[in-house]
Every structure is written in structure tokens, then in C-alpha cells.
Structure 1
Amino acid sequence: MLIILFKYLNLFLINFKLRFIMTFLSSFCITFFFSPLLISYFNQKKISQIIRKNGPITHYYKNNIPTMGGLILLLSILISVIFWSNLSNKYIIYSLFIMILYSIIGFIDDYYKIIFNNSKGLEPYKKLFLQLIATTIIIVIIYINNKEKLYIQFILPFINQIIKYKLNLTIYLIISYLIIIGISNSVNLTDGLDGLVIMPIIFISLGLSLLCYFSGDIFFSQYFNFIYVKNAKELIIICLSIVGSGLGFLWYNTYPAKIFMGDVGSLSLGAIISIIAILIRQEFLFLIMCGIFILESLSVIIQVIKFKYNKKRFFLMAPLHHHYELQGIAEPCIIIRFWIISLILVLFSLILII
């Protein structure tokens, strides 16, 4: 009897298409049906968004909207991946591991904001220190357990040529720090308007799912001149779980939002999509996909440097989406336009490989 069950289990695991569909549906349903319960619970416990005092005046009405909705996103992803993926695949373990580590950091940050009724939360240097530790742990584990040579590949636009560079541990760590810590914090900065960040995450996850398929297939990896990454196709399960849970969450997070994801959601989602890009050696294309997040971070950096230099601001307010708000552009209009730009960047990155 056990032999028969094991045989059918193996046949089920081989059926990628069925698992992809079920992963998407299960993650969507968990988030869609359980989010109202979480919203109700958070309203009762007064776990709500802490609006920064120097932020746009139009945001003050959001002060009582529940936050930390990222918990249901993470739970949905975790359940779907555990149930539908092959947990013997090391890439799945790496991805879930960094998601959990970053969710803990995000949870601490959100907890500090709520407990102390302060929008600053965890001190930036403490948050960065925890992120450095979490990233170092997972990257060192990946590097040690990788029997093949690690490369980073750069795709030259319109030339159809890929340049590959071999990496040692130091360079691998530096690149990983820049991508994982940089993108996770950029996602966190972008999460300032209703539904603004979750749709680009969905677009990027769909783009990454295609790259996972191409990188994990011998024929397609040779055709596109990718580095072949054995068993990378299994990461599509994680990508589709992010898409499903993200769409379910967007139902309640879209303008006007009934719940926000908080740092527990934005930091962990930024980290998990980053590690997927690193695992399939597609850092260059991934950074193009994340153009909106990078632009938001650059706006903050430019604002800080400009203000320290001559006590004047380059933008009306940073991050960039607040600048447009203060120009009088309606919040839904800003959100949709950022979504459009994000979709264009994802499509453009995929066009580069053709």
C-alpha cells in the first residue's frame, strides 16, 4: 500500500502544470478568504497603521487602517509552497528560509511602531545589521552547498550576447547584499500608497517564473544562452504562490485600502524575489524589473544628499510617490501609472533575452 502511495506521489510531483495551477489557486483562496478575519481581529486589537507626522496630510485618515497584513501573505505562501512543492529541492528551502528571516525583522519593526506609537520603528542601523546577518547566513550556505562554479551574467541589450563572470565568496556576498538588502528596503520604501507595491511584486514574480522555467530547462537555457540551473523550475511554485497570494491581498489592499502589509510583508517579499533572481543567476534582468523600487530609493538618496548639501529639497517629498501626491495628482492615478511602468520594465527585461 505504501509503495503504491509513493508511486502516485512521485507521479503527482512530476505533474508540474497541475501543481502550478493548485499553488496559484490555494494561495489566492487563503489570502482572499482569511484576510477579512485578520482585518476584523486587527481592528479589535487596534493594530493599525502609524502615519508619519511629516507625511502628506491626505494620509492622516489612514491612521486607523490595520497593518501587518503581510502576515496573511506569508502564511499563504508558506502553506501553498509546503503543500505543493518538492521540499527536497534546496532552492525552495533557501527561499523560504530568507523569507522567514526577513519577516521576523519586519515584524520587529512593525511591533516597535505599534507599541511605541511611532512611525520610525526599529532604528535603521539595527534593521540593517539584522539584514546583514540574515543575508550572510543564507548566502554562505548557498555558496558552500553549491558544487558548481558560480557566475553572474550580464545581457548586452540588442546584441544578443551574454557576458559571464566567475564569482568568489566575497564578490558573491557583496552582490547579494546589494540586491537582497537593497531591493527589500526599496520595496519597503515603495509601500506608501494603497496597493502600490503589491502589483509590481506580482508582475516581477510572473517574469521570474518565466526565467526560472528557461534557466531550469536544458533546451531553453542553451537557446537563450542562460546558465543552466538544475531543478530551478521548482521555484515557479514560489513565484506563483506570490502571484496568487498577492492578488488575494490586493482585493483588500487596493484603494481605498482596508489593510496594509507592513514591513513584515514588504521586507520579506522583497527578500524572497531577490533570492530567486540570485539562485537562477538573473540579477541583471531582475534589477531592470525592479526599476520602480530602485527609482523610489534613489529619490530618497537624492533628497537626503541635496538637503545636506544646501538645506534645500530636490523633491517636494520623498519617496517619489509622495512628490507626485503633493503636486496634486490623485492617489489612484499615481498607483496605476506606477503599475504601468512596472509592467513595461518587466516586459522590457524579457524582450532583452529574445
Structure 2
Amino acid sequence: MLVWLAEYLTQYYSGFNVFSYLTLRAILGILTALMMSLYFGPKLIRALQRMQIGQTVRDDGPQSHLSKSGTPTMGGLLILGAIFTSTLLWADLSNKYVWATLFVIGSLGIVGFIDDYRKVIRKDPKGLIAKWKYFWQSVIALVVATALYMSSTQATETSLVVPFFKDVLPQLGLFYIVITYFALVGTSNAVNLTDGLDGLAIVPTILVAAALAIIAYLTGNINFSAYLHIPH
């Protein structure tokens, strides 16, 4: 959003061109999300504690996890708010992958909210049952995968980038939808599976988000993407 404003203001002052640089916008996006988290985080935690909204731990897990029962949950609201705000402010909104990412995050966030609602309000430690969670994850993944495939205009958009092999870019065709489906559904489950049975998945989330942020930056930077031979 601010990128478009900066482009408009460039005609009056060339200094606004600085906002066209990906590195600066990435830093500003990180700082925006960080400031939002630092400001609203404590307020949200206190509000959740007042409403007695805490994590319900499954009783079939390790006994050490039981001490986490009652830990404020639904922190995804803060994470989603920070992501959406910083992205809408600093990202290039003409890029279809930005909107695809926001759609996936928002849609899976709704699924996660329903899961937390069942855990917190209904006191069901299992939350949303697996088959319904998988169903909605599949619907979201197929919608995005199909939309990206149908809107592709270059062969590289539906090619498979093989790490460490710069000249290997096999064309996937319709198999692109299958690969994208498994990538989205798999990664949406992987963090919780890694974290265990207590449902508090912040550390794996940080690690995964950091890795994906690096990949997104490299593909978005024309110099790095050209050097690494990955689609820009």
C-alpha cells in the first residue's frame, strides 16, 4: 500500500524511490510486525488471562506438558494481525503471490481459530477433529494451487526448483497442483506435529517462518535470484 503511495510521491520528490528497494521494505516490514507484537502482545495476553482463555493440554501426552495447561492461547490473532498489517503496508500488492500467501494464512488462521475455540470454550483438548481440519486444509490448498496454475504466464512459474542444481528446472505441468497441495497441507501440519502434544508451537513457528522469510527474500531480490538461478 505504501509502495504505491511512494511511487506516486516520487514525481514530487525522488527520495521516495528508496521505498522501491526490497531490502528496505523487508526491514520495515519486520520492524512493523515487531513493534505491533511488542505493543499489543502484553495487552492481548492480559486480556486472554482476564477471560481465562488458556491452553488445554491433552492428557495422553508427557506429564511435563501438563504444567502448560492454562497458558494463554489464541496468540495466532496477534501473529496474523502483525503479518497482515506489515504485508499490506510494505509488500508489492501487484504480486499475485502476496495475495495467495495472505489468503492461505488468513484461511488457515480461521481453521486454527475454530480449533482453539473448541479447545478453550468447549474444553476439548483435541480441538477441531482431524478429518475436518484436513478437509478444510485440502480445500484451501487446492483453491490456491489451481488459481496459481491457471494464472501462470511463464514456464518457470510451474517449474520445480531443485536446490544446489542451478540448471535443473523440470516443468511440472498439472503435477504443479499436486506438489503445491502437499506443500501447503504438509507444512500447515508440520509445526504442530514437531511441537508435540501441548499445542504451543511458537518455537517451531519461529524457525519455519525464518527459513521461509529467507527464501522469500532471495526469490524477491533480482540479484540473488539471478545468481542462484531461481525464479524471480
Consecutive unaligned residues in structure 1, runs of 5 or more: 230-354
Greater relative contact order, per chain length (Cα 8 Å cut-off, separation 6+): 1
Aligned residues: 220
Which residue in 2 is equivalent to 1:173? 177
Could you tell me which of 116, 124, 128 is aligned with 2:130?
124
**Is the alpha carbon distance of 1:55 and 1:220 closer, same or farther for their aligned partners in structure 2, counting shifts above 3 Å?**
closer
Evaluate the alpha carbon distance shift between residue 223 and residue 20 of structure 1 in structure 2; reply closer, same or farther with a 3 A threshold: closer
**TM-score, with structure 1 as normaliser:** 0.57
Query: What is aligned with 1:345?
Result: none
CA distance in 1, matches of 2:49, 2:204: 23
Q: CA deviation at 1:191?
A: 3.2
CA distance in 1, matches of 2:9, 2:218: 33
Q: List per-residue Cα deviations over 1:172-197 (Å, max 9, x = no partner).
A: 12111211101110112223467431
Partner of 2:187: 183
Pairing 1:202-217 to 2, within 5 Å after superposition: 202-213=209-220, 216-217=221-222
Q: Offset of 1:11 from its aligned partner?
A: 2.4
Aligned residue number for residue 287 of structure 1? none
Find out whether 1:151 has 2:159 as its counterpart: yes
Give the partner amino acid of 2:170. Answer: Y
Aligned 8 A contact 1:190 1:196 in 2 = no
Equivalent in 9, 19, 25 of residue 5 of structure 1: 9
Q: 1:198 aligns with which of 196, 205, 223?
A: 205
1:80 aligns with 2:86: yes
- Give, in whole Å, the separation in 2 of the partners of 1:220 and 1:26: 24
Q: How far is the alpha carbon of 1:209 from its aligned partner?
A: 3.7
The answer on whether the counterparts of 1:52 and 1:119 sit within 8 Å (CA) in structure 2 is: yes
Note closer, same or farther for the CA distance 1:15–1:164 as it changes in structure 2 (3 Å cut): closer
User: Cα–Cα, structure 1 residues 204 and 35, in superposed 2: closer, same or farther, change >3 Å?
Assistant: same
Identify the residue that residue 227 of structure 2 maps to in structure 1.
223
Deviations 1:67-117 (A, max 9, x none): 010110110111111111221221211111111111111111111112221
Decide whether the 8 Å contact of 1:162 with 1:225 is kept in 2: yes
- CA 221–139 in structure 1, closer or farther in 2 if over 3 Å, else same: same
TM-score, length basis structure 2: 0.84
Q: Is the 8 A contact 1:113 1:120 kept in 2?
A: yes
Residue 33 of structure 2: aligned partner = 27
Structure 2: segments with no counterpart, 5+ residues:
none
Q: Distance in 1 between matches of 2:183 and 2:23?
A: 30
Secondary structure of 1:172's counterpart equals: helix
Q: What is the RMSD of the two structures over their aligned residues, measured on CA atoms?
A: 2.4
Whether contact under 8 Å (1:153, 1:162) holds in the other structure is no
CA distance in 2, matches of 1:96, 1:47: 26
Q: Are 2:29 and 2:90, in contact at CA under 8 Å, matched by a contact in 1?
A: yes
Contact 1:49–1:66 (8 Å) recurs in 2: yes
